[in-house]
Structure 1
């Protein structure tokens, strides 16, 4: 059993990591500023402290008191549009906040940090017929991508010079239960809530209005949580792609969701959105090798939609 501190543990991905860690018998403490997370995302068995990564004194106090064996660093400013609107805040959270964490971990003898990063943003535009992968071209073209890549490099420095073992997980497009419908990363959540409202599903074009839309690599959050637990145990490569290797265009995503939900909705094509990467697909072999099997998109979408439907029924009851 390990003592695990999870930053951002009330958020979409972090809460799944927290719940799985508790289920596996670990002692878990969640550190979260509740900017996007919710206390209801985790069970009462999970201890939660409200604080911000940018508050170095509060962070150091928590790490000093809890004395974690390992840290799962999920907290981030993860919105690409927000990173353009306020690049300073993006860097404050993703770079300076991470440095606060690394410094405190060094001072208190934490042995390992697993950091959530982004393959989709760091690899940028991935040409047809290829996949983004560790060791391949890095094309960060947004403040968010630059800040996450900088945080990766800082972690490598602390690993090399201070003996802090670091692991980086580069996520593709993660979807699943508890994802927010706000923001460009939550397209499955947006589609699910549109279906439940009886609204049409809108597809931003890849090249023009009415085409099949941009291509993404959708990975189920349960698989992402499993990868995190393996990384916390030191069983994954230092930099690891968390993707499926399968590219799915937005229209296929919408059609698959409709088929699995039993719902009927109109699909409307709209103009391409400025700044969207047209194609983002990660190497899927590392995750398949680590997990043995990843969740098929149709199955993950069905689980996700059922969760949103049940959540709506609970609110209305």
Structure 2
């Protein structure tokens, strides 16, 4: 089976690509490298550099490769960026997705897998949040990640393109940069290992649902042939405060670093965690990494990256 991954050089999608390659799928990556990195791309994948907002360039790749399934991860993922520049956010997340869907329609793609976000739920009315929870986003990012779902459903009805829409909790793990919903893990990791002050916005008692990236990759693999025309939360189903997150990471890294609290940011939700009951039923999926094991792998990755950077710097001197 041939699978095309948009944004495949990015944090989450590169892990999906790695897992698919391990399972002997034929994987094609389409990425503009604005945030993705060449070094994230599995050498067994075919790579095309391009932007989802450029329909003609993307359509050419679809015409050449004729994928059976598209995993659409290319996106603008930062809440604060969406608040500062909502038109830019919408151009990528909404218009870009329409371009992907048009390419799917014209080349008769069987299925599209699309990651939405927990941000579409807004301030939770109950916990854990499940797929029946009202959709009331409080940021432009939440709006731009939900709007494509309407287009995806319409394309499915009109052109018989199957879909699975995921709503990820806060994804973290190796290769993550400082942006996006789980970016706090990457930020803490880098600052702890450099023995720099960690900053927490608000009082640190706000809760998030942290899900390890390899568990997310497994959900995408399962969705190739399951969960058709469903919306599914992918989560740990466990709330973790930012203070607890920092404490666990400090214990694992054995780095004692000061914490400085700053004013809470606009658009941030106070408490959130998602149910993963439907993911278990529809996909047969279960997260295999608890917060400690996932953070240990993540911190080991950043430690190795930091060590390589220090060695490179010494070599240049």
TM-score (norm 1): 0.93
Structure 1 residue 280: Cα displacement: 1.6
Structure 1 residue 85: Cα displacement: 1.5
1:261 matched to 2:258? The reply is no
Structure 1 residue 90: Cα displacement: 1.1
Deviations 1:232-260 (A, max 9, x none): 22346611101111111100000011112
1:303 matched to 2:297? The reply is yes
Identify if the C-alpha distance between structure 1 residues 236 and 110 changes in structure 2 by more than 3 Å, giving closer, same or farther: closer
Task: Give the counterpart of 2:151 among 154, 158, 170.
Answer: 154
1:170 matched to 2:167? The reply is yes
CA–CA distance in 1 between the matches of 2:20 and 2:78? Answer: 26
Structure 1 residue 189: Cα displacement: 0.3
CA–CA distance in 2 between the matches of 1:285 and 1:259? Answer: 31
CA–CA distance in 1 between the matches of 2:272 and 2:73? Answer: 21
Aligned to 1:208: none
Alignment check: 8 A CA contact 1:158 1:164 kept: yes
CA–CA distance in 2 between the matches of 1:224 and 1:148? Answer: 17
1:181 matched to 2:178? The reply is yes
CA–CA distance in 2 between the matches of 1:86 and 1:53? Answer: 18
Structure 1 residue 141: Cα displacement: 1.4
Aligned to 1:54: 53
> Which deviates more from structure 2 when the two are superposed, residues 251-260 or residues 269-278?
269-278
Secondary structure, counterpart of 2:167 in structure 1: strand
Alignment check: 8 A CA contact 1:246 1:284 kept: no
Aligned to 1:42: 41
Secondary structure, counterpart of 1:269 in structure 2: strand
Secondary structure, counterpart of 1:283 in structure 2: coil
Aligned to 1:71: 70
Aligned to 1:198: 195
Aligned ranges for residues 19-30 of structure 1 at < 5 Å?
19-30=18-29
| Structure 1, unpaired ranges of 5+ | 206-210
Alignment check: 8 A CA contact 1:124 1:280 kept: no
Alignment check: 8 A CA contact 2:163 2:229 kept: no
Structure 1 residue 43: Cα displacement: 2.5
Aligned to 1:145: 142
CA–CA distance in 2 between the matches of 1:153 and 1:293? Answer: 28
Deviations 1:16-42 (A, max 9, x none): 011111111000000001110001012
Aligned to 1:85: 84
Count residues in correspondence: 309
| Structure 2, unpaired ranges of 5+ | 312-317
Aligned to 2:314: none
1:239 matched to 2:231? The reply is yes
CA–CA distance in 1 between the matches of 2:71 and 2:245? Answer: 30
Deviations 1:104-156 (A, max 9, x none): 1111111000011102x1111125x6122112111111111111111011000
CA–CA distance in 2 between the matches of 1:93 and 1:275? Answer: 20
Alignment check: 8 A CA contact 2:182 2:210 kept: no
CA–CA distance in 2 between the matches of 1:223 and 1:292? Answer: 8
Identify if the C-alpha distance between structure 1 residues 93 and 272 changes in structure 2 by more than 3 Å, giving closer, same or farther: same
Aligned to 2:315: none
Secondary structure, counterpart of 1:275 in structure 2: coil
> Which deviates more from structure 2 when the two are superposed, residues 144-153 or residues 267-276?
267-276
Aligned to 2:215: 223
Aligned to 1:14: 13
TM-score (norm 2): 0.93
